[in-house]
Chain A
């Protein structure tokens, strides 16, 4: 019994970590450029494209206003188209990454908007291109804030995978529902909760640590 518990929890953890990792990577690849686009295309930005900005902002708000469960269901046909099935971790990754990308875009937008405009203007006055400003000024200047934002986003993605577990994605969420809830296995339920707490705490600690290291380097007095 206890070895069966360990085995269940191990597979669940493994599936959850897999989903979180892959979804996070895809969501960042989608979300970061969109977040950058939101900032530079805004009024007074370094590459103003007001219409594009409004449209992208609207789409993000539409996706973000949908409850996660409904978003997953809506995106199932897309998952079927991309990975050939609506079940399992890979199908969930499609929904989770697309569902989280708008959240990450907003986080990146917020972080980048904290960068003082004077720094961007200084770079412009030196003849930097838009791309150089993004890569060499905006992103590095906002890095500590971006790291903290990414931490929040990853923790959000963990919650997302647990919900996806309810409709056949596997992972810890699915364990908690199928065993803990439907089969009254309190030990499984407690086990998943403990593991989730450990994962979330570790990610938060790691994120705080990285942000702190970056800040400390910049503030350090000799």
Chain B
């Protein structure tokens, strides 16, 4: 479904060149929930943004379905993006539009007729359980509700892939859980391929089937989530597990009940 071959990317910064991605190779299957984890600055945001062409890699190829993302011209890329949904840490909803209008936006720019849009928006509002909020504005919603609108908006055009750029990082644990439940549901219902980047271990453990660990622009580990967690090899993943367990121990020590 998604194929990333030898992708490298360098940014020119005032402090010199920074190699953000170094020879990345990835294969993601149709219907998979795939995780990319790494500490800040590991290059995960750049990697996911390369997948829908928001960033252009210096070298290498990216293919999603039949589209060779790295070879498309502007117009072709826009059409390809209509089938690649994306959700964001900061939600990035349009404050000037109601929930309904936010979700209708991708359909409008794809040229759907009004009644078709209405039908689709209502269907998708139902899926994310926000039907009663359709006339609210984003500023009137809670974080979890905002992300549900974000997901609905990303799914409106019936994409083949959903990219999640730290989509739960701004949410509390309970809301994170409900959003992940929603993503898992959608994955099952629509057989949608989902790519999740995160720095939250629990997110990966809870919902991904396969994952890679990114460390300073390299993929240092790759495999199915369960076996990687049982047998971590990379410094990054070991650190992640140690830190997360450390928190849990402290919480138990303090008499907390955990989540």
Contact = CB atoms under 8 A, between A and B. Distances in A.
Interface string A130-154: 0010001100110100000000000
B254 to A, nearest CB: 36
B139 A219 contact: yes
B109 to A, nearest CB: 5
Contacts, number: 73
Contact of B94 (A121, A127, A141, A221): A141
Interface in B108-135: 108-110
B105 interface: yes
Contact of A122 (B92, B96, B157): B92
A217 B140 contact: no
B95 interface: yes
A67 interface: no
B92 A219 contact: no
B86 interface: yes
A127 B156 CA distance: 13
Interface residues of A, number: 24
B92 A140 contact: no
B242 interface: no
Contact of B78 (A129, A137, A140, A141): A129
Main secondary structure of the interface of A (DSSP, over half): helix
B31 interface: no
Nearest to A126: B106
Contact of B54 (A116, A121, A221): A121
A95 to B, nearest CB: 35
A200 interface: no
Contacts of B109: 126-129, 132, 136
A83 to B, nearest CB: 39
Nearest to B77: A127
Given A119-B92, A122-B86, A128-B78, A136 B140 contact: no
Given A125-B84, A126-B154, A127-B78, 8 more contacts: A119-B93, A122-B88, A124-B54, A126-B82, A129-B109, A136-B109, A140-B94, A220-B137
Interface of B: 52, 54, 78-82, 84-86, 88, 90, 92-97, 105-106, 108-110, 136-137, 139-140, 153-154, 157, 163
Interface of A: 116, 118-119, 121-129, 132, 136-137, 140-141, 143, 217-222
The 9 tightest CB contacts between A and B, nearest first, are A122-B92, A127-B81, A140-B96, A118-B92, A127-B82, A127-B78, A125-B86, A126-B106, A218-B137
